[in-house]
């Protein structure tokens, strides 16, 4: 039975090795990009011959990079706002009421989750082509909102499920109408989780590439689309800068959440 | 069915609530007159429709049938937040993002009172429930009993027309529950509150209420003062649900003399009976009213063989059986039970006054 005991002694090590391997697998390519972003010259190369901040300067000064960045922010903000405007009332309606056709409506809301991105991209391409929304920010905003509605609806429904609805009755018994109760009780209590849902919608849009490639065109080009073109056509080192910045933002955000969480306990 | 009151303040008239397309009658034709300043308990087993009735009064459920009338006005169409009814929930339902002060101030702020009037009123009510020094705390920094006191203050602070409570002490341990029963009762008296109190705890209903409405399967079996419910239950259900009882099926043998015949022999009640000979009735005798006797009398008594003796400290529960196997329950004092042992013979008797006859 020595083999068995040796195995069980080794077992705790295995998950640790796996974790290290996964982390390395994820992080190493990322680090590669970070290093390249400080590289010298006008094309991507590894290892760089010298380290400069030229590419960073280029990123913030070149309109062909700044414009897509701005576009992406505007589109992500707008589509997150639209998403929340749709999903918040929907999630409340689903949590509070039974109505005929409820399951059908739920299915409709969930639909974008089941359709492959590329199919949606193509559909939008032809549909927007006919309606004049192709190559416009409005078009991308609408498409991205459709994409994030099902996910955000699911998140908010889960939040509402764990919400204590007797609080709304308590508020009503104190004399507050439905809207007042919503403002004074539901909203303050649900705001943090709704903000997370909104952030999710924002990221869904900011990160989306396939549909943006098809319908955003040059005028409404998003950052991911610009990056894709850059890599394909020019091998511009600025793309490494953008990746690095995004990476840093995500790491900082994750650390901030972790820090808040640990302070709560 | 229930005594007409001179000043019906709040009145339920034939109120019903059906679910599942009418198949389930959660509340079935309930009528109650509630007087101003009355403490009315809705008592009944789980699922008997107490909460549903309370929620219809509160305005959170719409009756399928019937009227709810407050001071002569039908309020069925008035939404909950305009009824001006205070409410206390079993799980406290305090607003977790507000301090104790803000929770209690909430109804007053909604009524747009001036800030200093709010501060004064909230202070007064927090003092009433003994939480003055907790005003700045959040609910999650309070014990269950303290939280329910805050909920109490919040339900009373705006001088509501009626206060509704749904098992408000259900989540508290026994000692705390008894203390809060006392406090709620004292507040209700002091402020003259009209209070409707849902509970399935009969001792709670007995000690606090002016009247009890006993619910069973969606309808009211009896509405009466607690002692009336205990002494003269209107139905077999009430007699068995409230307190312990010996219930014997009987047939009337002499209506004038109030005598019925039961499986444990003839039982004589104090008053003549208002029904025909051979009519089926129920004879009920509370266990504590059956007394040990030197020898069993011709009627209102029997001889039992002691089957079990259970000591509760302050009293002893004795179960005996008659010669033909009918069980009779007694409550004796420790001294009375001292000489008893299982298998011993015990002669018992009871007074005609203590026999309650139910005509089904
Ligand atoms: N929304 C609903 N849909 C269907 N049936 C319901 C609904 N609400 C209550 N009922 C049913 O109505 C009946 C009465 O319920 P209710 O909650 O009034 O009982 P209760 O007397 O308060 O019981 P408990 O002591 O357990 O709280 C129950 O059979 C319950 O299952
Ligand atoms: Mg209930």
Question: Ligand 1 mean position to B285 CA, how many Å?
Answer: 32
> Does one domain contain both A45 and A134?
no
Q: Is B51 in the pocket of ligand 1 (CB under 6 A)?
A: yes
Contacts of B1 (CB under 8 A, 6+ apart): B31, B220, B222, B223
- The pLDDT value given to residue B248: 92
State which residues form the domain around A76.
66-234
Interface test with B, best of A96, A163, A172, A175 (most B CBs within 10 A): A175
Which has the higher per-residue pLDDT, B222 or A30? Answer: B222
> Does one domain contain both A28 and A98?
no
> Does one domain contain both A79 and A167?
yes
pTM, 2 dp: 0.82
Alpha carbon nearest to ligand 1 atom 27, residue: B46
Chain B contacts of A166, Cβ < 8 Å? 89, 91, 93
Contact B82 A164 (CB under 8 A): no
Q: Is B19 in the pocket of ligand 1 (CB under 6 A)?
A: yes
Contact B84 A175 (CB under 8 A): yes
Question: Ligand 2 mean position to B198 CA, how many Å?
Answer: 7
Interface test with A, best of B20, B102, B106 (most A CBs within 10 A): B106
Q: Residues B178-213: pLDDT tens digits? A: 999 999 999 999 999 999 999 999 999 999 999 999
Contact A177 B79 (CB under 8 A): yes
Alpha carbon nearest to ligand 1 atom 4, residue: B19
- Shortest distance, CA B119 to any CA of chain A (angstroms): 17
- Residue A230 maps to a domain: yes
- The pLDDT value given to residue A264: 65
- The pLDDT value given to residue A265: 58
> Does one domain contain both A76 and A151?
yes
Question: Ligand 1 mean position to B26 CA, how many Å?
Answer: 6
Q: Residues B229-284: pLDDT tens digits? A: 999 999 999 999 999 999 999 999 998 888 999 988 889 998 888 888 899 999 99
- The pLDDT value given to residue A10: 56
Q: Locate the chain B residue with the closest alpha carbon to A177.
A: B81
Question: Ligand 1 mean position to A265 CA, how many Å?
Answer: 38
Tally of domains in chain A: 2
Please state, rounded to an integer, the average pLDDT across all residues of chain B. 93
> Does one domain contain both A217 and A87?
yes
Q: State yes or no: pLDDT of B5 exceeds 70.
A: no
> Does one domain contain both A88 and A38?
no
- Residue A1 maps to a domain: no
- Residue A244 maps to a domain: no
For helices A137-161 and A117-131, the axis angle rounded to 10 degrees is: 130
- Residue A246 maps to a domain: no
Interface test with B, best of A166, A173, A182 (most B CBs within 10 A): A173
Q: Is B160 in the pocket of ligand 1 (CB under 6 A)?
A: no
- Shortest distance, CA B241 to any CA of chain A (angstroms): 30
Q: State yes or no: pLDDT of A9 exceeds 60.
A: no
Ligand 1 atom closest to the Cα of residue B52 is 18
Ligand 1 atom closest to the Cα of residue B200 is 25
Question: Ligand 1 mean position to B47 CA, how many Å?
Answer: 5
> Does one domain contain both A73 and A45?
no
- The pLDDT value given to residue A251: 87
Q: Is B44 in the pocket of ligand 1 (CB under 6 A)?
A: yes
Q: State yes or no: pLDDT of B140 exceeds 50.
A: yes
CA B343 from chain centre, in angstroms, equals 37
Q: Locate the chain B residue with the closest alpha carbon to A190.
A: B97
Average pLDDT over residues A228-245: 87
Q: Is B302 in the pocket of ligand 1 (CB under 6 A)?
A: no
Ligand 1 atom closest to the Cα of residue B215 is 21
User: How does residue B77 score in pLDDT terms, banded at 50, 70 and 90?
Assistant: very high
Among A38-52, B46-60, B90-104, which stretch is predicted with the lowest mean pLDDT?
A: A38-52
Average pLDDT over residues A141-166: 93
User: How does residue A5 score in pLDDT terms, banded at 50, 70 and 90?
Assistant: very low
Q: Domain ranges in chain B?
A: 8-237, 244-358
Question: Ligand 1 mean position to B258 CA, how many Å?
Answer: 41
> Does one domain contain both A29 and A109?
no
- Residue A60 maps to a domain: no
Alpha carbon nearest to ligand 1 atom 30, residue: B47
- Shortest distance, CA A180 to any CA of chain B (angstroms): 9
Chain B contacts of A164, Cβ < 8 Å? 91, 93
Q: Residues B285-343: pLDDT tens digits? A: 999 999 998 887 888 899 999 999 999 988 999 999 988 888 999 999 988 888 888 99
Average pLDDT over residues A212-232: 89
Q: State yes or no: pLDDT of B2 exceeds 50.
A: no
Q: Residues B24-73: pLDDT tens digits? A: 999 999 999 999 999 999 999 999 999 999 999 999 999 999 999 999 99
Edge-first strand listing for the sheet containing B73-74 = B24-35, B8-19, B65-70, B73-74
ipTM > 0.90 for the complex: no
- The pLDDT value given to residue A13: 83
Which has the higher per-residue pLDDT, A235 or B173? Answer: B173
> Does one domain contain both A78 and A129?
yes
CATH class of the domain at B244-358? mainly beta
| CATH numeric code, B8-237 | 3.40.50.300
- Three state DSSP letters for chain B: CCCCCCCEEEEEEEEEEEEHHHCEEEEEEEEEEEECCCEEEEECCCCCCHHHHHHHHHCCCCCCEEEEEECCEECCCCCHHHCCEEEECCCCCCCCCCCHHHHHHHHHHHCCCCHHHHHHHHHHHHHHCCCHHHCCCCHHHCCHHHHHHHHHHHHHCCCCCEEEEECCCCCCCHHHHHHHHHHHHHHHHHHCCCEEEEECCHHHHHHHCCEEEEEECCEEEEEECHHHHHHCCCCHHHHHHCCCCEEEEEEEEECCCCEEEECCEEEECCCCCCCCCCCEEEEEECHHHCEECCCCCCCCEEEEEEEEEEECCCCEEEEEECCCCCEEEEEECHHHHCCCCCCCEEEEECCHHHCEEECC
Q: Is B200 in the pocket of ligand 1 (CB under 6 A)?
A: yes
Among A46-50, A169-173, A240-244, B102-106, which stretch is predicted with the lowest mean pLDDT?
A: A46-50
User: How does residue B4 score in pLDDT terms, banded at 50, 70 and 90?
Assistant: very low
Contact A172 B106 (CB under 8 A): no
> Does one domain contain both A118 and A230?
yes
Contact between B135 and B99 (Cβ < 8 Å):
yes
**CATH label of the domain that carries residue A83:** 1.10.3720.10
């Amino acid at each position: 039975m020595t083999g068995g005991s040796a195995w069980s002694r080794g077992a705790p090590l295995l998950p640790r090795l796996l974790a290290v391997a996964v982390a390395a697998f994820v992080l190493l390519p990322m680090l590669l990009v970070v290093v390249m972003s400080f590289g010298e010259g006008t094309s991507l190369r590894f290892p760089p011959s010298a380290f400069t901040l030229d590419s960073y300067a280029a990123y913030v000064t070149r309109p062909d990079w700044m414009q897509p960045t701005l576009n992406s922010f505007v589109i992500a903000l707008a589509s997150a706002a639209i998403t929340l405007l749709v999903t918040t009332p929907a999630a409340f309606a689903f949590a509070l009421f039974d109505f005929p056709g409820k399951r059908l409506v739920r299915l409709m809301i969930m639909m974008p989750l089941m359709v492959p991105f590329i199919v949606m991209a193509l559909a939008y391409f032809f549909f927007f082509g006919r309606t004049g929304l192709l190559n416009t920010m409005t078009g991308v905003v609408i498409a991205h909102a459709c994409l994030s509605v099902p996910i955000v609806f699911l998140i908010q429904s889960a939040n509402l499920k764990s919400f204590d609805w007797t609080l709304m009755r308590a508020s009503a018994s104190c004399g507050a109408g439905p809207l007042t109760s919503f403002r004074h009780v539901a909203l303050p209590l649900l705001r943090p989780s709704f903000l997370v849902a909104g952030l999710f919608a924002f990221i869904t849009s900011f990160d989306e590439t396939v549909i943006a490639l098809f319908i955003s065109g040059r005028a409404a080009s998003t950052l991911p689309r610009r990056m894709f073109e850059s890599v394909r056509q020019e091998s511009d080192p600025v793309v490494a800068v953008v990746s690095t910045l995004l990476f840093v933002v995500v790491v900082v955000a994750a650390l901030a959440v972790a820090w808040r969480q640990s302070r709560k306990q | 069915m229930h005594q007409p009151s001179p000043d019906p303040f709040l009145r339920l008239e034939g109120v019903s609530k059906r679910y599942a397309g009418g198949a389930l009658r959660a509340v079935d034709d309930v009528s109650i007159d509630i007087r101003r300043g009355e403490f009315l308990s809705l008592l009944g087993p789980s699922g008997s429709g107490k909460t549903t009735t309370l929620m219809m009064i509160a305005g959170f459920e719409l009756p399928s049938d019937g009227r709810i009338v407050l001071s002569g006005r039908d309020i069925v169409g008035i939404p909950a937040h305009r009824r001006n009814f205070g409410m206390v929930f079993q799980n406290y339902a305090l607003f977790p993002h507000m301090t104790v002060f803000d929770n209690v101030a909430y109804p007053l702020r909604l009524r747009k009172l001036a800030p200093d009037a709010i501060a004064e009123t909230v202070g007064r009510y927090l003092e009433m429930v003994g939480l003055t020094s907790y005003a700045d705390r959040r609910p999650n920094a309070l014990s269950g009993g303290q939280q329910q006191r805050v909920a109490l203050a919040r339900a009373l602070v705006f001088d509501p027309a009626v206060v509704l409570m749904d098992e408000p002490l259900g989540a508290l341990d026994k000692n705390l529950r008894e203390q809060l029963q006392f406090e709620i009762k004292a507040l209700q008296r002091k402020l003259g509150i009209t209070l409707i109190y849902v509970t399935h705890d009969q001792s709670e209903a007995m000690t606090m209420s002016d009247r009890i409405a006993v619910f069973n399967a969606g309808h009211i079996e009896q509405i009466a003062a607690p002692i009336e419910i205990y002494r003269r239950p209107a139905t077999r259900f009430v007699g068995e649900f409230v307190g312990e009882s010996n219930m014997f099926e009987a047939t009337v043998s002499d209506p004038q003399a109030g005598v019925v015949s039961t499986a444990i022999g003839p039982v004589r009640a104090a008053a003549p009976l208002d029904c025909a000979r051979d009519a089926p009735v129920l004879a009920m005798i509370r266990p504590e009213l059956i007394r040990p006797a030197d020898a069993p009398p011709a009627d209102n008594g029997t001889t039992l063989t002691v089957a079990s003796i259970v000591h509760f400290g302050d009293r002893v529960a004795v179960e005996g059986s008659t010669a033909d196997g009918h069980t009779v329950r007694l409550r004796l004092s420790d001294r009375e039970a001292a000489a008893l042992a299982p298998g011993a013979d015990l002669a018992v008797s009871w007074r005609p006054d203590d026999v309650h006859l139910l005509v089904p």
